[in-house]
Amino acid sequence: MRYARLGERGPVVSRFGLGTMALAGASPEDADRIVGAALDAGITLLDTADVYGDGRVEELLGRVLTAERREKIVLATKFGLPMGSDPKARGCSARWIRTAVEGSLRRLRVDHIDLYQAHRPDPETPLAETLEALHDLVTEGKVRFTGTSAYPAEQLVEAQWLSQRHALAACCSEQPAYSMLVRSAERSVLHTCRRFGVGVITWSPLNGGWLTGKYRRGQPPPPDSRAARGNPFVVPTDTAKLTAVESLEKIAQDAGLRLADLALAWCLEHPAVTSVLLGPRTPGQLDGVTAAQAVSLDEAMLDAIDQVVPPGVDLDPRNTGWHPDALTTRHRRRRPADYPTSNP
């Protein structure tokens, strides 16, 4: 396993990280085996969120992260997406951040979180309020580093500006969706992160299983796949993705690679990307992870991939996990005075 610093200010992390959303339905024994397999593979970044299983995944991790394991990892979690049915249990307000962090600390059974991330932008809360609340947690020692997930480039810039202007702890990382089928982060987010020394942790590198080749034209999805379980973001009849995957698989075969190895190696090729999150549901799905780091993609291969899905293009825009609130009818019809502002 190789390692890199998360941006200019963050901790050193493994180039592949363990994403834990798939553990929502796992038993404690399965969670223990997956975490153990990740550590055995040299993975040191473990990423979760309070919303995964409505707190259950954090509770599972709290049970399997022994003191010895805890010392080896950078423990990252996220806040902001709705927790349960309470409309107040969500967002990036100072009030909810204070409540959310205490809940995560309790469920994870730790005294601090290494990387605490805003799961999605909150159009109802001024960004300055969010950053001030996170700064307070860093000052108190409950959080070591802070970050964001699925934030657009303009908010990443605003966050850096506000942190400098008000002497706040600056976010050290951003977590966008990124794969050969979902490339919109290349338009501005990845460049902005490089410009401001922000590390990048990417999620869904295999695009919900598409880039393992499990979905085939004219064939039903495998019984254990996301599509078979009814995930609305994985549509096995998506013609654009079927066509793209067939072409990408040919590129991988010509290079003597598995499609999944090509997909993982491709994510690491971008100079802005620090770490790529994997989301295994079994320990066996981590087999060969370190081999993907050794794959070198030459210019001809990268150009061929660009011909299949051009830079900056998403084959399914829903896969980015966030869409600008400014495009909603509600936002278009509000008066300018109604918008929350980060300016003092």
pLDDT tens-place string over residues 208-266: 999 999 999 998 888 888 888 878 888 889 999 999 999 999 999 999 999 999 999 99
pLDDT of residue 335: 63
* CATH of region 3-338, choose from 3.50.50.60, 3.30.43.10, 3.20.20.100, 3.40.1440.60: 3.20.20.100
CB atoms within 10 A of CB 155: 18
Give 328's DSSP letter: S
Among the listed ranges 93-107, 135-149, 223-237, which one has the minimum average pLDDT value?
223-237
pLDDT of residue 338: 61
**Cα end-to-end span (Å), the chain:** 45
* Residue 18 · residue 277 · CB < 8 Å: yes
pTM for the predicted model, two decimal places: 0.93
Q: Where are the domains of the chain?
A: 3-338
pLDDT of 288 above 80: no
Average pLDDT of the chain is 94
pLDDT of 203 above 90: yes
Helix (H, G, I), strand (E, B), or coil: what is residue 303?
helix
Phi, psi of 148 (to 5 degrees): -135, 170
Average pLDDT (288-299) is 85
List beta partners, residue 202: 276
Categorize the per-residue pLDDT at 333 as very low, low, confident or very high, splitting at 50, 70 and 90.
low
pLDDT of residue 316: 95
Residues with active-site annotation = 52
pLDDT of residue 150: 98
pLDDT of residue 16: 97
pLDDT of 342 above 80: no
Average pLDDT (278-304) is 89
Residue position matching structure tokens 């399965």: 30
